[in-house]
Amino acid sequence: MSRKARRITRSARAAGIPTSKIRRWKRNATREPLLSSASARVKLRARGGVSEAPDHAGSPDAAAVGKAPRFFAVDFFCGAGGTTRGLIDADGYVIAGIDKEARCAKTYVDNNPNKTLDEAEPLYLQYDIFPKSDVYPEGQQEDLGAKLAELIPQHRAKAKSAPLLFAICAPCQPFTTLARKELSDDRKAKRDRDSNLLSEAATFVERFKPELVLSENVAGIKDPRYGGIWQEFRDRLEALGYVTGSRLVCTSKFGVPQYRKRSILIAVRRDLVSPERLSDLIGTELIVPEADPDATIMTVQEAIGHLPPLTAGAMHETLPNHKTRSLSELNQKRLGAALPGESNLYLESTEHGDLSLDCHKRVNTRLSDRCFTDVYTRMRPNRPSPTITTRCHSISNGRFGHYDVKQVRGISLREAAALQSFPDDYVFYPKEMIEPVARMIGNAVPPKLAKYFAGYLIDCVKADADAAL
């Protein structure tokens, strides 16, 4: 870090600046200055007041002031911020993230300062997207609409040529394969209601008419058994004047070190779309890439091999979220006998004898086939990981054992986040807990995937579209 950056950091700490902002300055300390020193006076917001720092030409905050974003964005169902991080990395300015759960707020805000305009953190709007009714009094759709009607014009006035993007990545639980008979009545009702999240989000598209829409969900959302929800959402966007495109993609082809199949839907307002991005002459569909041509396949070892070794149940002293789940003595014997990439057939003949699970033996006998072959196994170091789920910390829920045979443990939360393409300084809260953080990580949209499609969407807008914005 340069002398100048160190000086700014010391001044910031003395002024009580939050650590997240100081980290951002360090990351950006090598930026080229965009403003002259005469216009680079930066206000440092301290706890309990505002103090003003001296001019520092080229300081990170000074460099960002006045830098226009490529687009503005609102992130619906933002969770811990995977989509938002991707949008910001694509040089967008995220006005707000919307989620009805309070638990993600600190993680979302602390990790996602914008890199353009004022570099402010996005607002975390804790609202229920459904309309209020006698049947569902918790709905807050009207209040949320009023809040967005206040925020969006305020921000768009700062960069009038920047289009508005709505990211709508609804929770995937309503479209997963967990049997309904395994759910309580309350969870069934919630799942049925949540299957309408895309439809409710479309009401905000209709009201605010963003130039761009990006949606990501599980591969299974296209399945007809879910009532054609994905196609209905697409049809509604087209009826509102958008050209759309949809495709099933694998995240490993976009620089994410993970095999994760996802449904992608993109939409551009019809009067703004570039003809080069249409799949046919009559302009009925957008081309949706199946890969990032500039990305290379990233392996598990490339993604997490730099992280410090751990033992089962340990937490690294200084690296946030580098924490693993404890293993019983029996499970340590099981995983200790596993080699990277092999199935759990090895359990039948370890140095400790047959360590196969009785429940698996019964199922295999009944079906005359081997099932659950990935549990209690290690990842392959030379390939992308399997899909990172909300249970990625547990070796009994998939191929989540660390590939290094010297480390008899499942992957840490920090490693799971890296396999989702989160940077190592992205801190999930509460740092000392496993289950809630694993849910945030497993439910997140990989930032690199969001970054690519945000950039692609911007390039779908024709060059002379400014006058129509």
What percent of the chain has pLDDT above 70?
Answer: 78
Mean pLDDT, the chain, rounded, equals: 86
Q: What is the mean pLDDT of residues 427-454?
A: 98
Q: What is the mean pLDDT of residues 391-420?
A: 98
Looking at per-residue pLDDT, the higher value among 404 and 279 belongs to 404
Are 320 and 310 a contacting pair, CB within 8 Å?
A: no
Task: Write out pLDDT tens, residues 35-70.
Answer: 333 233 223 233 333 223 333 333 344 344 569 999
Helix (H, G, I), strand (E, B) or coil at 278: strand
Q: Of the candidates 127, 172, 123, which has an alpha carbon nearest to the alpha carbon of residue 152?
A: 123
CA–CA separation, 236 and 265 (whole Å):
13
Q: What pLDDT, on a 0 to 100 scale, did the predictor assign at position 350? A: 94
Q: What pLDDT, on a 0 to 100 scale, did the predictor assign at position 98? A: 99
Q: At 100, is the pLDDT very low, low, confident or very high (cuts 50, 70, 90)? A: very high
Q: What pLDDT, on a 0 to 100 scale, did the predictor assign at position 226? A: 72
Name the strands in the sheet holding 123-125, side by side, starting at the edge strand that comes first in the sequence: 123-125, 92-98, 71-76, 164-168, 212-218, 261-269, 242-250
Domains of the chain: 3-64 (no CATH), 71-299+447-468 (3.40.50.150)
Instruction: Say which of 172, 371, 392, 460 is annotated catalytic.
Output: 172
Q: At 31, is the pLDDT very low, low, confident or very high (cuts 50, 70, 90)? A: very low
Task: Write out pLDDT tens, residues 301-313.
Answer: 999 999 999 999 9
CA–CA separation, 384 and 188 (whole Å):
34
Q: What is the mean pLDDT of residues 262-271?
A: 98
Distances in whole angstroms, Cα of residue 13 to Cα of each of 8, 42, 107, 393: 9, 15, 21, 35
Q: What pLDDT, on a 0 to 100 scale, did the predictor assign at position 176? A: 54
- Residue 459: pLDDT above 70? yes
Q: What pLDDT, on a 0 to 100 scale, did the predictor assign at position 55? A: 36
The DSSP-derived string for 368-424 is TS---TTTT-BPPTTS-B----TTTT-GGGSS-B-S-TT--SBPPHHHHHHHTT--T
pTM of the model: 0.84
Q: At 290, is the pLDDT very low, low, confident or very high (cuts 50, 70, 90)? A: very high
- Residue 412: pLDDT above 50? yes
Task: Write out pLDDT tens, residues 126-168.
Answer: 999 999 999 999 999 999 999 999 999 999 999 999 999 999 9
Q: What pLDDT, on a 0 to 100 scale, did the predictor assign at position 191? A: 54
Of the CA atoms within 13 Å of residue 460, those in its CB half-sphere come to 32
- At 229, list the tokens: 């929800």
- Residue 268: pLDDT above 90? yes
Q: What pLDDT, on a 0 to 100 scale, did the predictor assign at position 296? A: 97
Name which of 222-226, 354-358, 455-459 the model is least confident about.
222-226
**169 a catalytic residue:** no
What percent of the chain has pLDDT above 90?
Answer: 72
- Residue 341: pLDDT above 50? yes
| b (16+ CB within 10 A) / e for 79-109 | bbbbbbbbbbbbbbbbbbbbbeeebbbebbb
Of the CA atoms within 13 Å of residue 194, those in its CB half-sphere come to 18
Q: At 187, is the pLDDT very low, low, confident or very high (cuts 50, 70, 90)? A: low
CA–CA separation, 395 and 400 (whole Å):
5
- Residue 370: pLDDT above 70? no
